[in-house]
Amino acid sequence: MEDRWLTRAKRLHAVAATGLHFSTDAFDRERYSEIAELAEAMLAELADVPIVRIAGLVSDRATGYATPKIDVRGALIENGRVLLVREQSDGLWTLPGGFADIGHSAAENVVKEMREEAGLDVSATRLYCVRHKAKHAYSPDVRDFYKLFFLCERRGDMAFTASSEISEAGFFPPGQLPPLSRGRVIEGDILAAFALHADPALPTVFD
């Protein structure tokens, strides 16, 4: 689980952002702005990054009720191995996926990400896991996320092409996973996919 002060700073920023959205009183808006600035300074110190970087990551101040962001990931398991892609940004591996785009359902986003990152046409067959990122052993993040994981089935041949985001793709057995991009995926996300793939009667895992 993430550091308790990181959790508190994120919550404080969310309260300030929501207050700025709904408040019409000039004095209250000034106070909410000050609280948001303090929270952003706390997040910058906790994450050890410049304050301008924090402002860019949590730029939803006064734009609506502050809610968690959504990350979707797809797990394709074939012959006892799972498909992973290697991120250009850190050289580490993850399940294909990313931010959910507006205008698409969660399942449609997974299908799109699998096509864009792995060159695969798939169908999303099962929501197998929903995680609150802050409650698990992911790399710390100043943003708050719900992570949705889907089991997928192949519908066509693989036509992978390296891109500015993904350098390669490959299949791995559960006991031989490559170094993972832990801000995106952890071992438990992958092992849960293997478990539910082997036994469809298992329930969806959620926090």
Grade residue 177 by pLDDT with cuts at 50, 70 and 90.
very high
Contacts of 165 (CB under 8 A, 6+ apart): 87, 88, 89, 117
| CB-CB contact of 58 with 141 (8 Å) | no
What pLDDT sits at residue 200?
95
Grade residue 37 by pLDDT with cuts at 50, 70 and 90.
confident
d(CA 187, CA 27): 48
Q: What is the mean pLDDT of residues 132-141?
A: 93
Short-list 177, 176, 195, 173, CA closest to 185: 177
Q: How many residues does the chain have?
A: 207
pTM of the entire predicted model: 0.80
What pLDDT sits at residue 11?
86
So what's the architecture of 69-206 in CATH?
Alpha-Beta Complex (3.90)
Q: At residue 54, does pLDDT exceed 90? A: no
Contacts of 1 (CB under 8 A, 6+ apart): 134, 135, 136, 137
Contacts of 38 (CB under 8 A, 6+ apart): 12
Q: What is the mean pLDDT of residues 54-70?
A: 74
**In this structure, what token pair is assigned to residue 189?**
């996300």
Give the domain ranges of the chain: 4-57, 69-206
Grade residue 57 by pLDDT with cuts at 50, 70 and 90.
low
